[in-house]
Structures are given as C-alpha cells and as structure tokens.
C-alpha cells in the first residue's frame, strides 16, 4: 500500500508580483515543473531564505493544518504571520491519512500553550504528550515527548526544522521513529538543516537555491558536506574562518 498521501505540489496560475515569495527562485520554479513526492520521506534543504519553510508551511496549510502547528483540529492563532502561498498551490492527493501533525519549531511554544488551555475542559488533554504539560519540560524534552507519544502511524507528518531543539541522540530517536512510522504507512515531509536527519536511507532530498529546486543525493548537500569538512578538519576550518575576520 502506498504511503504517499501527497504525491505532487504545483502552482495554480501566476504568482502575483506584489507578494514576497514571488522573488524566491525555488517557489517560482514550481511554475515550470511540479514537485513530486515519490518516497515516504522527503527532505527540503537549503540556505536560510531559500523558500523551503515557506513551501512546507503552504503545503501544511493547504492540507488543512493550523499554520502555527498541531493537528487538523487545532485552530489557535497568536499571530497571523503565514504567507498566502497556500492559495496559489494545488496538492495532488491519493487518500486521507488516519493521523497527521504539522510540527513548526518556531511556534511550538504557542502549540504547547494551547494544549494547556485544552486541559481545562479535557482531563485527557495531556495523554498524547507524555501525561503532563509540555511546558514542564525543557524545549528538547517537549519535542521528544511529542514525537514519542503523539505520532500514531498511518499519518502525514510535516516537520519544519525539528532538529532545532533536539540533541544528536534525540535526532537518532527521531530517525528511529520515522522508520517505524514509515513501516506503518506514514509519509514525512521535512525541512531541515540536519545532516543526521537527511541521512535517512532512500529518502528524496530537494535542495532549494537561487537556481530553483533540484533533487540531490545525500553527499551533495551542504548539510553533509560542510559538517564532514568541519569534523574531519576542525582546526583547518576554524583557522580559515578566523583569518577572514
């Protein structure tokens, strides 16, 4: 059974010139060719500002997730900051998942606060988050509690820079969890800078750059290449960087 709940994203008509994402080459490139999701795990990589999180957010919102994160039934809003790119894309879908979650690192605090608010009316609000408030844990522990307890399987999971709060060992845990859920008919679309996460076997990796969007292999990514360069030659890299000051 295929676990690609989304198998294509493309632009719907022309992007208005007065919106900021019109100037992002990766986003504009969708006008000439759709982005395909052929594997259960797809990564978006690229420099800050390259458009990977902008597109990831648009996919999540278009699918019905709350822009600030959570499941499809979360509707809290603390700030209306998401772009309107979702209005200009079309998602090609096969069937509806049983579960789903949009994890957005920058607004995770707001999500945890909303869960606390739900606790007032629902005694079981913490059940899927480790049994207690996410705010009673460190940032990394709260991310880990969500991943371990809330991702049920047969689901669509859209993650924006999940490594932001995770230690290296916790990223290992996430890799293991992804593998278990992929074997349980789940799909992941992840924007990341982590060379650990992008090392997931047989994933598709799309690199966002000034030239558009290109499918690359793991060893071609800056995440991998620059990390390897630093680990294998820390003194040389530091010397080079410090000489540039």
The residues with which 91 forms a beta bridge, in sequence order, are 9
The strand pairing partners of 4, in sequence order, are: none
Residue 240 lies in a domain: no
Would residue 234 count as lying in a domain? Answer: no
pTM, rounded to two decimals: 0.91
Taken in order 66, 38, 27, 171, the sign of the CA dihedral is positive
What CATH number is given to the structural domain containing 199? 3.40.50.300
Is residue 122 one of the residues assigned to a domain? yes
CA pair distance 48, 209, nearest whole angstrom: 10
Q: Quick check: helix, strand or coil at residue 141?
A: helix
Q: Are 152 and 123 in contact (CB under 8 A)?
A: no
CA-based nearest residue to 74, from 109, 105, 102, 106? 102
Domain span including residue 180: 6-217
Task: Please report, in tens digits, the pLDDT of each residue of the chain (245 residues total).
Answer: 456 899 999 998 888 888 888 889 999 999 889 999 999 999 999 999 999 999 999 999 999 998 888 888 755 555 555 678 999 999 999 889 999 999 987 777 777 887 887 777 777 678 878 888 888 898 889 889 889 999 999 999 999 999 998 999 999 999 999 999 999 999 999 999 999 999 999 999 999 999 999 999 999 999 999 999 999 999 999 999 998 65
67 assigned to some structural domain:
yes
125 belongs to a structural domain: yes
How many domains, in total, are found in the chain? 1
Within a domain: residue 1?
A: no
pLDDT of 134 reads 86
Residue 223 lies in a domain: no
- pLDDT for the residue 1: 45
Spatial contact of 40 and 188, defined as CB atoms under 8 Å apart: yes
- As a whole number of angstroms, the distance between CA 17 and CA 38 comes to 31
Examine residue 134 and state whether it is found in any structural domain, yes or no: yes
Tokens of 64: 């019905």
Residue 177 to residues 147, 148, 149, 197, Cα–Cα distance (Å): 8, 7, 10, 11
From residue 117, alpha-carbon distances to 76, 114, 121, 125, 134 in Å are 10, 5, 8, 9, 12
């Amino acid at each position: 059974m295929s676990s690609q709940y989304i198998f294509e994203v493309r632009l719907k008509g022309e992007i208005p010139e007065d919106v900021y994402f019109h100037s992002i080459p990766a986003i504009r490139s969708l006008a000439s060719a759709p982005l395909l999701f052929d594997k259960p795990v797809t990564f978006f990589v690229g420099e800050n500002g390259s458009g990977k999180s902008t597109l990831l957010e648009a996919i999540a919102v278009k699918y019905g997730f709350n822009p600030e994160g959570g499941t499809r039934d979360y509707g809290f809003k603390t700030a209306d900051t998401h772009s309107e790119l979702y209005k200009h894309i079309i998602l090609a879908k096969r069937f509806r998942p049983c579960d789903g979650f949009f994890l957005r690192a920058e607004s995770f605090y707001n999500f945890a606060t909303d869960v606390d608010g739900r606790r007032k009316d629902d005694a079981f609000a913490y059940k899927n988050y480790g049994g207690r408030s996410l705010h009673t844990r460190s940032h990394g522990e709260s991310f880990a509690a969500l991943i371990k307890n809330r991702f049920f399987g047969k689901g669509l999971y859209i993650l924006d820079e999940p490594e932001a709060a995770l230690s290296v060992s916790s990223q290992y845990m996430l890799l293991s969890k992804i593998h278990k859920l992929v074997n349980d008919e789940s799909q992941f679309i992840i924007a990341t800078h982590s060379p650990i996460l992008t090392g997931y076997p047989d994933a598709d990796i799309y690199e966002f750059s000034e030239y558009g969007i290109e499918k690359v292999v793991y060893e071609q990514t800056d995440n991998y290449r620059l990390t390897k360069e630093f680990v294998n030659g820390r003194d040389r890299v530091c010397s080079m960087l410090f000489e540039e000051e």
